[in-house]
Structure 1
Amino acid sequence: MLAPALALSLAAPLAAQEGGAFTLAETGQSFSTLDQALEAAKPRGEFTWSTILIAPGRYRQCAVQSWGRTVFKARQPGTVVFEGTACEGKAALVLRGRGAVVDGIVFRGIRVPDGNGAGIRSEIGDLTVKDSMFLDSQEGILGGVTGPQKIVIDHSTFAGLGQCDETPDCAHSIYLANQGQVTVTASRFERGRGGHYVKLRVPKVEISGNSFDDSQGAKTNYMIDLSEGATGSITGNAMVQGRNKENWTAFISVAPEARTYSSAGLRIEGNSARLSPGETRSPAFVADASKQRLAIGANTLGPGVRAYEAR
């Protein structure tokens, strides 16, 4: 039997949901659904930031942000879980406002018929994600914007994501395309279920201080895929490649599909890369199809990892 204090703490999230789990911080109003809180924020103006504080709990609901700038913030990081529900057949959060911040939220078990069920679908506006988790879904964060966009992902976890079996096209832990920049820092990627861990179609990247642990991955591809090239930096990342790969030939792939963006001077240094025990194949750390000069500095490579391969 649970001790009274523990029983109370476990019951609190349900009570919070019944009493209005979603609070618009600027007005103090509380609502039973996230959609209601988003609607209440609209009168504050399209260019004004509004913060929605979310009480601990598991929520089988989703929301579409179509207006303004919104911070979705867990009152206690890691205690807010959006699970198993996608809006518009896309994601738990579909973002097409002026901008959004997602802070301390867990997204889990999102699956949709087209194979791209995500925690977050970014369609319009800049996005910052921090201290959040994306677990056991088809995709973690998916987005495609034709114009400039800035996306920052920091101190977040991506595990059990991706697929290549459910639909003709693969899904990935992160898959983003825009004409701006994507920054991924201090985050953890592990236990991929298919596709790439980070797949980007953007002109500039900063991928720094992350951990890629593919030792328990299944049918995965590259750690980092810069599909159409990019400038910027890939620094200070720790990578372990597992044995169960769909494509084992590289850790980082530059411009494998097109040379839309310049890759000249892309800085790759201070990273470590090694193979899981028992892996006998010899992948390249960097597979480069850009036909341009990259700035590859000192990286720590384990036995069997080749430094570079031109494609």
Structure 2
Amino acid sequence: MRTPFNYAHHSTAAACGAVFGLLAPSLALAATLTVGADKQYKAVKDAVAAAKSGDVIEIDPGEYIDDISSIKVGDLTIRGVGDARPHLKATVPPPNKKGIFVVELGVGPVTVENLEFSGAKISEGDGNNGAGIRAQGTDLTVRNCYFHDNQNGILAGDGLMTIEYSEFAYNGEAGYEHNVYIGTAPKFVFRGNYTHHAKSGHALKSRALENHIVYNRLMEEADGNGSALIDLPQGGLSYVIGNLIQKGPMAENKYRIVFYKGEGGTNPDLRLYVSHNTFVNDGAPNATFVEAPAGTEVNVYNNLFVGPGTPIKTGDPNTKIVDLGNLQTEDAGLVDRSGYDYHLLEGAPGIDAGEALDALLIPDSQYLHPTQTESRPVVGAPDIGAYEFGVDEGTTTDDSTTGDDSTTGDDPGTSGPTSDDPTTDGPTTADPTTDGPTSGNVDSDGETETSGPQPTTEGGLGTTDATGGDATDTDSDTGSAGDDDGGCGCRNDANGGAGALLAGLAILGFTGRRRRR
């Protein structure tokens, strides 16, 4: 959404008036278009077709069957209003052969809020990559949405991409489609989301140059049959901070949980930072929690590894590995491991056991189920993992729901909006190796991919086709090694702010531990 104009940054009334005068014409032209049974437009696609730059489209609750839209103007907000998410439901293949919403080439920024997308599927001949949203534009933000039972939840190209406080479930089909699949975006932010039960594919896959994956819940749970939970096949400067990451017993890819630079092209910055996550392996004993066949740096700090497996594995002897403050244990002192509540019990071995880190890598928030975040307390030395044992005195994001009853391990937490917007610069290359039953498959870059037990082609992101869309990607994602994805969530206000203040208070001795209510 557009940031409100801040007059405090201008020193004189004259300056304010001059700037407002420049903005007034565009503001005057902005309109709110309404969609619903008794509203200005009955179909979403008609409102989208009529929208101009700067407009807001508000959609009433209800089912919008086969209401397929092509978004051709930027500076546009499309949001659901009312007491339930409007549901955009595809029952036939989208005629555009791409998705329910298609953000066209060169279009942005676009914001999509509080909508449900389901049913997007196209034929194998057309790519098998129908999506709830197909993002081909320059800048897309998706917030508080629910994507389920599509071939891809979101399939994005090379524009900026932010996804927050949303749920992705049961997207996929043949192992080459995913809950979330991001192309070579300059920056990808994935924050406060719940992605689970991807069908054969990945919970999250990104080829972005820079990934910020923070404060999310990425799981297969008891019956999910997915591949990697996070796959960043081309590397990139990547921060994986404060997430709950669980490998399930029914996964088709039993061996990889976070997989970095395993195939495809190579991004210029190959530094991976994995900090303060709680990993749980409920599957194969020879799984690898963090695997990087290539990379210049693999930095793994203060993570809680629960269950069997190899914590860190690399395939390049020249990769710099930093392994600091991590704990692997079968008895982690979790509130309810089988119910996916990974808060710490009193006396848990990870309490006060973490190492002091650079402020950039210390989480200032933690995941609150479903699809929210809350402030992470500062109580003594840092606890290992995604949760701090203590009372959270901060605030949460706006209250949102998941759209179904499939969630587990809910924590009531606190309420009220928080705003932590990661925008950090940060910190790899190697030779892909595989573990377990994987098969090599040559991808569209001519490199061997190792993402699944059976090689096939993946519909997805690749070169541009003759119609301006994305050509079929040939990655194979089922089985063991993976596709391409990424993200980040971390304390990124390196110049100060609330995160720096909390760190300062800790240094000054405000370290009394408070019990979590």
Q: Tell me which interval the TM-score lies in, with the shorter structure as reference length.
A: 0.7 to 0.9
1:230 equivalent in alignment to 2:249: no
**Residue number in structure 1 paired with 2:193:** 187
Aligned-pair CA distance for 1:217: 4.6
**Amino acid in the other structure paired with 2:285:** R
Aligned-pair CA distance for 1:172: 0.6
What per-residue deviation string (whole Å, max 9, x for no partner) do you get for residues 212-266 of structure 1? 1202454411011111011131000001111222222111111000461145432
**Residue number in structure 1 paired with 2:97:** 89
Change in 2 beyond 3 A, CA 1:228/1:78: farther
Change in 2 beyond 3 A, CA 1:88/1:216: farther
Aligned-pair CA distance for 1:87: 4.5
- Whether the 8 Å CA contact 1:190–1:216 is kept in 2: the answer is no
The equivalences for 1:165-176 within 5 A come to 170-176=176-182
Change in 2 beyond 3 A, CA 1:18/1:196: same
**Residue number in structure 2 paired with 1:125:** 138
Quick one: which of 162, 166, 173 aligns to 1:156?
A: 166
1:111 equivalent in alignment to 2:121: yes
**Residue number in structure 2 paired with 1:3:** none
**3-state SS of paired residue (1:256):** coil
**Amino acid in the other structure paired with 2:101:** L
Query: Could you tell me how far apart the structure 2 residues matched to 1:207 and 1:152 are?
Result: 10
**Amino acid in the other structure paired with 1:222:** A
Query: Could you tell me how far apart the structure 2 residues matched to 1:259 and 1:118 are?
Result: 23
**Amino acid in the other structure paired with 1:68:** G
Quick one: which of 29, 41, 62 aligns to 1:31?
A: 41
Which runs of 5 or more residues in structure 1 are unaligned? Answer: 1-15, 21-29, 43-47
- Whether the 8 Å CA contact 1:176–1:201 is kept in 2: the answer is yes
Change in 2 beyond 3 A, CA 1:216/1:63: farther
Change in 2 beyond 3 A, CA 1:87/1:120: farther
- Whether the 8 Å CA contact 2:70–2:102 is kept in 1: the answer is yes
What per-residue deviation string (whole Å, max 9, x for no partner) do you get for residues 263-304 of structure 1? 54321110011122xx34321111102241222112000120
The equivalences for 1:1-311 within 5 A come to 17-20=36-39, 30-42=40-52, 48-60=53-65, 61-76=67-82, 78-85=84-91, 86-96=94-104, 97-113=107-123, 114-145=127-158, 149-164=159-174, 170-258=176-264, 260-276=266-282, 279-311=283-315
- Whether the 8 Å CA contact 1:250–1:286 is kept in 2: the answer is yes
**3-state SS of paired residue (2:50):** helix
**3-state SS of paired residue (1:49):** coil
- Whether the 8 Å CA contact 1:78–1:132 is kept in 2: the answer is no
Aligned-pair CA distance for 1:99: 2.1
- Whether the 8 Å CA contact 1:77–1:105 is kept in 2: the answer is no
Query: Could you tell me how far apart the structure 1 residues matched to 2:62 and 2:111 are?
Result: 19
Aligned-pair CA distance for 1:77: 6.4
**Residue number in structure 2 paired with 1:4:** none
**Amino acid in the other structure paired with 1:227:** P
What per-residue deviation string (whole Å, max 9, x for no partner) do you get for residues 29-55 of structure 1? x1122222123223xxxxx32110001
Query: Could you tell me how far apart the structure 2 residues matched to 1:264 and 1:163 are?
Result: 30
| TM, length-normalised to structure 2 | 0.51
**3-state SS of paired residue (1:110):** coil
**Amino acid in the other structure paired with 1:207:** I
Which runs of 5 or more residues in structure 2 are unaligned? Answer: 1-34, 316-517
**3-state SS of paired residue (2:37):** helix
Change in 2 beyond 3 A, CA 1:57/1:104: same
**Residue number in structure 1 paired with 2:507:** none
**Amino acid in the other structure paired with 2:260:** V
| TM, length-normalised to structure 1 | 0.83
**Amino acid in the other structure paired with 1:260:** T
Change in 2 beyond 3 A, CA 1:247/1:309: same
Aligned-pair CA distance for 1:118: 1.0
Query: Could you tell me how far apart the structure 2 residues matched to 1:87 and 1:125 are?
Result: 23
Query: Identity rate of aligned residues, in percent?
Result: 23
Query: Could you tell me how far apart the structure 1 residues matched to 2:272 and 2:265 are?
Result: 13
- Whether the 8 Å CA contact 2:219–2:229 is kept in 1: the answer is no
**Amino acid in the other structure paired with 1:246:** E
What per-residue deviation string (whole Å, max 9, x for no partner) do you get for residues 163-213 of structure 1? 226xxxx10111111241110000001122111111111110000000012
Task: From the CA coordinates, give the structure whose radius of gyration is larger.
Answer: 2
Change in 2 beyond 3 A, CA 1:87/1:68: farther
Query: Could you tell me how far apart the structure 1 residues matched to 2:248 and 2:152 are?
Result: 20
Query: Could you tell me how far apart the structure 2 residues matched to 1:143 and 1:249 are?
Result: 26
**3-state SS of paired residue (1:161):** coil
**3-state SS of paired residue (2:297):** coil
